[in-house]
Chains A and B, each alone.
Chain A
């Protein structure tokens, strides 16, 4: 199966009986989807569960995706809904320390260091921590838009459709997110 097939073509192949087409779909989307889920949940085990749940939905109910829609939009909609359901079941989003709780990694463990080298290790860690604090300072709505735009690759218009919001609202939330990040990270971010 050549990799240049579109997402819709891969899903159609899967529906037609080619299980390996799903493997190619997963390979293509696993990084961004997993990154998004990791950011939403703050826990690798929860992100694993939700990732599996999303693709099993396609396995068990292939008709839930229509080739007319963008696959990434379907994927991240299902992922978001699954995460929200999980939060509802757990009562609230689990508060995970930035540095993790000793056994499981926290969000800060998944933040890349901007500059390599042991000499700058302390500075890198401090910057990563500042970035995590800046993201934590965003409202849930702002953070949601930011993560969706960053990981899904969907346009703001597509995100607005996915969330059932006016595009103006989505852009306003993104704008406020950007402003907050600027204020918290300060001129040193440049």
Chain B
């Protein structure tokens, strides 16, 4: 096609031509059989390429399973943050109320045992969090395997 309207025709066909360009192309096509044929070819090919429904349900289900598992991890993260904040507050409270006896902290067996108690609670909570995180990692790995298997069998 030697008329030089190929690129303008592409913009026109896909609805990207501004009104002035649209009018120009339409005016040109009245006298250019090649451009009319090209427009028709583009229309015919485009009509022959409909967007399919999409992949099979197994593929969509695998993605959603992974998405739900991942979002549970986001919720878990919030709980972890709240628990950390709560424990930090407890520790802060212990030191805030130590008052004038601050200089005797190291020698105050009562406060010391109280701190041990708090420390122990922190370790316990950390263990529980680690165990839960491990469970989540394990479950996520399981889901990844399930996704791979589902995709292979789809």
A positions within 8 Å CB-CB of B: 14, 16-19, 22-23, 26, 30-35, 38-39, 45, 47-49, 51-52, 55-56, 59-60, 110-112, 114, 127-128, 131, 134-135, 149-151, 155-156, 168, 171-172, 174-176, 178-179, 181-182, 185-187, 189-190
Contacts and interface: CB of A to CB of B under 8 A. Distances in A.
A178 B70 contact: no
A128 B38 contact: no
A34 B70 CA distance: 24
A16 B66 CA distance: 15
Given A35-B52, A131-B48, A182-B38, 17 more contacts: A19-B67, A26-B64, A31-B54, A33-B54, A35-B49, A51-B55, A112-B50, A114-B47, A134-B41, A150-B46, A156-B11, A172-B7, A174-B10, A178-B6, A189-B41, A190-B37, A190-B40
Interface string B34-77: 10111011101111111111111001101110111011001100
Residue of A131, A175, A187 contacting most chain B CB atoms (<10 Å): A175
A159 B16 CA distance: 13
A51 B52 CA distance: 13
Contacts of A187: 37
Contacts of A48: 55-56, 59, 151, 154
B51 A181 contact: no
A178 B41 contact: yes
A19 B52 contact: no
Nearest to B10: A174
A16 B75 CA distance: 9
Given A175-B7, A189-B40, A181 B45 contact: yes
Contact of A149 (B14, B59, B74): B14
